[in-house]
Amino acid sequence: MDREMAPKQGDEGAPDAWLVFEPDVREGLRDLRAGEEVIVLTWLDRADRDVLVVHPRGDATRPETGVFSTRSPDRPNPIGLHRVKIVSIDGTRVRVQNLEALDATPIIDVKPVLDQTTER
Amino acid sequence: MDREMAPKQGDEGAPDAWLVFEPDVREGLRDLRAGEEVIVLTWLDRADRDVLVVHPRGDATRPETGVFSTRSPDRPNPIGLHRVKIVSIDGTRVRVQNLEALDATPIIDVKPVLDQTTER
């Protein structure tokens, strides 16, 4: 993904970002629409995969917690799970709000938003 | 994961299942508790990774839809996203309700449940 300089917006303050897909998956994107919320899965390629316990949010005053009870990027299989809103779509580039991830993090999947009836 | 014969329960009717973790990630599990809901990520190893459009829910009367707008297991990176409730924990085995997945599907991650404030 590519990060753009943009006014902060959204309740978490993350700037907009472009999700850049490979041309060969274009057909899979064809029913995404601006305004929709989706779940983006990423591979957090700069994570430390040997970590099993962390201080939540990196706060050393908080007790160490097993990573499977946290959202730490450092974990054995560092998959990021992000709920974002689609702002616009340009071919295989999808602009989204509220994505907190480092530039160039690989995107591995996009799914409809979880909710109480569809999330399992 | 292992599937057990069990009375159907839960609003989707999926039986209970055991998530079986490798011993070397045990420490990461230490703060999971019975009664909690968690997100389980799986690798859907029997999926067809060449699929980009599907009839939703396999219903040929529904129009073909790009896979990134569906929960189809057939998709380029077939990651399953499951919200489940922990029933009990026995070492590195975690018994859960409401998991719809095939036996022996590899587990790749466990995360706290998404909600409106923590899901991004």
The nearest alpha carbon in chain B to A43 belongs to: B77
pLDDT per residue as tens digits for the range A54-108: 998 889 999 999 999 999 999 999 999 999 999 999 999 999 998 988 889 999 9
Report the domain count for chain A.
1
The three-class DSSP label of residue B89 is: strand
Question: Nearest 5 degrees, angle CA B21-CA A82-CA B11?
Answer: 60
Residue numbers in A near B14 (CB within 8 A): 120
Domain-embedded: residue A5: no
Residue pair B15/B6 in contact (Cβ under 8 Å)? The answer is yes
Task: Write out the residue range of the structural domain in which residue A97 sits.
Answer: 17-112
Give me the residue from A30, A82, A98 closest to B66, CB to CB.
A30
**Cβ–Cβ of A52/B27 closer than 8 Å?**
yes
Contact A79 B108 (CB under 8 A): yes
First-to-final CA distance of chain B? 27
Tokens of B58: 């396999």
Question: What pLDDT sits at residue A119?
Answer: 41
- ipTM rounded to 2 decimals: 0.85
The tens place of each residue's pLDDT in chain B, 120 residues long, gives 666 554 444 455 678 999 999 999 999 999 999 999 999 999 999 999 999 999 988 899 999 999 999 999 999 999 999 999 999 999 999 999 989 888 899 999 999 996 644 443
Mean pLDDT over A30-52 rounds to 97
What is the predicted pLDDT for the residue at B14?
A: 72
pLDDT of residue B31: 97
pTM for this entry: 0.86
CA neighbor of A54 nearest in space, from B11, B52, B28, B34: B28
Does A64 map to a domain? yes
Q: Does an H or E element contain B66, and which?
A: strand B65-66
Q: Is residue A95 a part of any domain in this protein?
A: yes
Contact A41 B77 (CB under 8 A): yes
CA distance B81 to chain A (A): 7
Contact: B77, A111; criterion CB under 8 Å: no
The residue of chain A nearest to residue B82, with distances taken between CA atoms, is: A120
CB atoms inside a 10 Å sphere around CB A10: 16
Residue B106 in domain: yes
**CATH number of the domain encompassing residue A98:** 2.40.30.70
Res A71: pLDDT: 94
B29 falls within a domain: yes
CB contact under 8 A, A83 and B120: yes
